[in-house]
Amino acid sequence: MIVAGNWKMFEGPDPTALARRLESIDGVDAIVCPPYVSLARCVDAGLTTYAQNVHWEDEGAFTGEISPCMLLERDVAGSLVGHSERRQYFGETDEDVARRAKSALAAGLNVIACVGETQEQRNAGDTETVLRLQVDAVRVACGPHDRLVLAYEPVWAIGTGLTATPELAEAAHALIKSLLDVPVLYGGSVKPDNAAELMAQPSVDGALVGGASLDVESFAAICQAAAASRS
Ligand code: PEP
């Protein structure tokens, strides 16, 4: 099981305290995705550390971006790509996401590529079409790579307190896995009190956690639930 904490544009918890707390939990690969300025502190604390995004070029005139080799040289293990906030607020397309994922994997990073439908798309009955398009872009670029993980994050459940039911999550994960056979994390208001039932689903391979990853104890509780779900 994999549990990744996306700190977004927040300072997040003290990396040393978090690393110490996570040491006591076996059976889960815990990952933190802090803002760029905190990557080094998290690596130094011994946390498995991913960036929140990564560019496809090694270097160049791309203000505000960071490259796969820059991350690798600093012992950053991987990166998120295609988070819905990148798609929604910064106009990232399926093609951008696929290019980021492909270069990061080629350079040697691990990748968590995020997919998920908006409320409007779900209401319109377009969930399956949207997921097929998003997953297909990554599949065509990367194939079923052993350092590639997908995260199903229904946009309507991110930061809203709304969570997919375990059955809805399972159905979406099963569809995604039928398109690209890699581990699939669930993301969208995962909290200590709903983590166990979500992670009990057979096609849910872990969680991508936003808000609840900012607190050491709630992130640890979700990691514990993930570990217990497969023990
Ligand atoms: C996320 O940022 O990927 C996320 C799922 O956020 P939250 O857990 O706060 O909904």
Mean pLDDT on 85-113: 97
pTM equals 0.97
| Cβ–ligand 1 contact at 5 (below 6 Å) | no
Best residue for ligand 1 mutational test, from 88, 158, 194 (most atoms within 8 Å of Cβ):
158
pLDDT at position 231 over 80: no
- Mean pLDDT in residue range 89-110: 98
Report the share of the chain in percent with pLDDT over 90.
97
Q: Is the pLDDT of residue 230 over 90?
A: no
Full 3-state SS string of 125-155: CCHHHHHHHHHHHHHHHHCCCCCEEEEECCH
Arithmetic mean of pLDDT, 155-176: 94
Q: Is 188 in the pocket of ligand 1 (CB under 6 A)?
A: yes
**Nearest atom of ligand 1 to the alpha carbon of 187:** 5
Condensed to tens digits (0 to 9), the pLDDT of residues 38-50 reads 999 999 999 999 9
pLDDT at position 162 is: 86
